[in-house]
């Protein structure tokens, strides 16, 4: 396994829609394993392939921060097939430095995807798992959580980021937000 660089806003690669994985092979399994290692090292609870510069529809997540690895999920070509209700959740992202905001999402979802073992699965989710799945699937569609905010809040973040970069970059102790 290998740590991969996590792209950050405003990288153009984060705005591109990912393509379906056509073949689940050793390279796909290696990418999934690299993404898991990168996610835990960041640290985060989710990571999408486009965040590490791979424009393919693959995500990894583990919302169990108490027992890392126990609830690890690796999904290929995930699709949300049902949505119900709404919830507002404070989100951050490994690709959006030093910023969190409340985001409105569906409260409950049903996701259909493939595993690296080539099994088709369905996941019924609510709470943090629902939010994390939606957040990561947004990455596959070229969307960041800040794209779901008002234009004013996005503009405030862009100005904050310019100041951070002008002042020498992010503080290494607070450089990344948990990605959900």
Residue 122 annotated in active site? no
Element spanning 171, H or E: none
d(CA 175, CA 60): 21
3-state secondary structure 72-101: CEEEEEEEEEEEECCEEEEEEECCEEEEEE
Q: State the maximum Cα–Cα separation within the chain, in Å, rounded to a whole number.
A: 48
d(CA 14, CA 49): 10
Say what the alpha-carbon torsion angle 151, 56, 22, 32 is, to the nearest 10 degrees.
-130
d(CA 116, CA 90): 30
From the list 67, 108, 122, 136, the catalytic residue is: 136
Which residues are catalytic, by number? 136
């Amino acid at each position: 396994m290998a740590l991969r660089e996590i792209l950050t806003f405003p990288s153009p690669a984060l705005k591109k829609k990912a393509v379906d994985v056509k073949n689940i092979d050793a390279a796909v399994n290696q990418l999934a394993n690299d993404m898991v290692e990168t996610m835990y090292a960041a640290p985060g609870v989710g990571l999408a392939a486009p965040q590490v510069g791979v424009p393919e529809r693959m995500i990894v997540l583990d919302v169990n921060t108490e027992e890392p690895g126990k609830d690890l999920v690796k999904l290929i070509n995930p699709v949300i097939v049902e949505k119900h209700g709404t919830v507002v959740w404070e989100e951050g992202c490994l690709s959006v430095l030093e910023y969190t905001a409340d985001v409105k999402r569906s409260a409950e979802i049903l996701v259909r995807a493939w595993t690296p073992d080539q099994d088709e699965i369905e996941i019924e989710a609510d709470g943090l798992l629902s939010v994390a799945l939606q957040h990561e699937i947004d990455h596959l569609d070229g969307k960041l959580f800040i794209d779901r905010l008002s234009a004013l809040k996005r503009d405030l973040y862009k100005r904050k980021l310019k100041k951070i970069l002008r002042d020498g970059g992010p503080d290494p102790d607070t450089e990344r937000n948990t990605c959900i």
